[in-house]
A and B are shown apart, each in its own frame.
Chain A
Amino acid sequence: MNNRLRELRAELNWSQADLADQLAVSRQTINAIETGKYDPSLPLAFAIAKLFGLSIESIFSPDE
């Protein structure tokens, strides 16, 4: 799955640690999502979407 997490985080000048704190996950989780090594659970995807004020599908998209 592809995602725009790194891009959205950069727009707000947040570090991975900042984002991790707001989502109550580890920095490693944010890094793994950004690098595509880990796909978040649905609750975490919803939390990410809510934090950025976007829909899930505008952040995450399936592999072509």
Chain B
Amino acid sequence: MWKDYWCAGTSRSYWLLSGALGVAYVLAMMLEVQLDASTPTPLRVLAAVFPALLILGLAAVEFRRIRNTDELRQRMELEAGMLALAIGVPVLTAIGLLNEAELTGIPFIMGVPILLLIYIAAQVWTHRRYQ
């Protein structure tokens, strides 16, 4: 049943594309943390903007997958997305402000993984709700 849930609306191209974008994002993040003030500015700008483009790509792939699912699953995705937004934005804001106040030192690049974890937890919750 869980396989049906997590694989709903997916295809081989979905897994290939999302996998490639995910790996590219991790590599881009690894490159990003290697850069310092001695790195040429155009390369630093590119390294800073590129992950955002990858996230947009991942969002587009996910959007297409959701459109291929049935109406209940679309509702569940909507609820999970809104829940993740409602919890994720305050959490990320709090982390940002705590960092600003130098009370925590959570790297900025952890924002996306944290949001992703909250989204997955929200999906599990909505899945159980309609079971």
Contacts and interface: CB of A to CB of B under 8 A. Distances in A.
A25 B72 CA distance: 8
A28 B130 CA distance: 8
Interface in B1-33: 1, 4-5, 8
Interface of A: 24-29, 31-32, 37-38, 40-41, 44
Contacts, number: 34
Interface string B99-131: 000000000000000000000000000000111
B73 A37 contact: no
Interface in B66-95: 69-73, 75
A9 B70 CA distance: 20
A40 B71 CA distance: 8
